[in-house]
A and B are shown apart, each in its own frame.
Chain A
Amino acid sequence: MPPSREMRVQILTFPNELGAERMALDAVVLLAKKLGFPPERVDDIKLALAEACTNAIAHGCPPETACDVTVTVKATPQKLDIVVEDAGISPPPAFITAPDIHKMVSGEARLGGMGLYLIQKLMDEAEFLPAAAPHRGNRFHMVMYVPPGGTHDGK
């Protein structure tokens, strides 16, 4: 079934180069503003998408290999629905843990590993979807809901 008039679907594909995700961020920020999300929540969506794209770029391709990351966005008056897909050479983590800043500061833990945690805190829903087919890559799904009236108080 084709998308309804209320639904805008954008499929953005970019190479696995850090920084190349900017065009997807700009497009989704525009959509989020049109849906009526307040600036604070637009910032949340932008950061969550940036983290998902960075993960896909960093972990979704074999090193020194060119491949693509695809962002699919569905916007309705009720929600913004985003899927980030990569080539999926690394399996997704089994669970998402909160970063331990004390261990990072003391040097006991590596710096980083905060992206998925932030996404989970910032978005209303965030999860890895089953692969579309065996060996077809990781799919990360995020949703932010727009309450009636187009304002969103945030978490």
Chain B
Amino acid sequence: MMENDLSVNVEQLNSTTAVIHLAGDVTMFAETAVKNAYRSASKNDCTNIIIHFRENDYINSAGIAVLISIVGEVKKRKQRLLLAMPSTHFQKIFRMVGLSQYADIFPSLDEATAALA
């Protein structure tokens, strides 16, 4: 089995907002790292969680399932989920599976943070 090729970092933007930066492949191998990052981002009672993807990253249906599990947690905690993704391919796929009904999608991190201002 191949190793996961994903880097995950959490950035606390302010008292209410945390950003999870993803760089690499979001597949089934990403599950533990992404869930741990979400828990870390939610530690300080953040009400806004932004997941930030890069332009050339890759996601498959198993990676989408990981994000749907995060949506379930976000809903339970009554947080707002924002997805910042420059890739129009990602945006299309997320709309196809219905993720856009649970998260606001923006083409950049700047636009996602601006929406919270």
Cβ contacts under 8 Å, B61 to chain A: 51, 54, 112, 114-115, 118
Interface residues on B, range: 20 to 34
Residues facing B in A91-105 (CB within 8 A) are 99, 101-102, 104-105
A18 on the B face (CB < 8 A): yes
Whole-angstrom CA separation of A105 from B64 in the bound complex: 12
Q: Which 9 A-B pairs have the closest CB atoms?
A: A19-B2, A101-B98, A43-B89, A111-B65, A114-B61, A115-B61, A105-B72, A112-B65, A104-B68
Residue in A44, A50, A111, A121 whose beta carbon sits within 8 Å of that of B60 in the complex: A50
Note all chain A residues with C-beta closer than 8 A to B71: 105
Bound-complex Cα distance A115 to B64 (A) = 10
Residues of chain B at the chain A interface (Cβ within 8 Å):
1-3, 28-29, 58, 60-62, 64-66, 68-69, 71-72, 75, 87-89, 92-93, 96-99, 101-102
**Contact status of A114 and B1, CB under 8 A, knowing A18-B28, A40-B88:** no
* 13 residue pairs bridging A and B, Cβ less than 8 Å apart: A17-B2, A22-B2, A40-B92, A43-B87, A46-B58, A51-B60, A99-B97, A102-B98, A104-B65, A105-B71, A106-B72, A115-B60, A118-B97
- Residues of B contacting A149 in the complex (Cβ-Cβ under 8 angstroms): none
Interface of B is mostly: helix
Q: How far is the CA of A6 from the CA of B65 in the complex (A)?
A: 40
- A11–B62 CA distance with the chains assembled, in angstroms: 26
- Which chain A residues have a beta carbon within 8 Å of chain B's beta carbons? 17-20, 22, 40, 43-44, 46-47, 50-51, 54, 99, 101-102, 104-107, 111-112, 114-115, 117-118, 121
**Which residues of chain A are near B99, meaning CB under 8 Å?**
101
* Apart from the given pairs A43-B87, A114-B64, A114-B65, 9 other A-B contacts in the complex at a CB distance below 8 Å: A17-B1, A43-B89, A47-B89, A99-B98, A101-B102, A104-B68, A104-B72, A111-B68, A111-B69
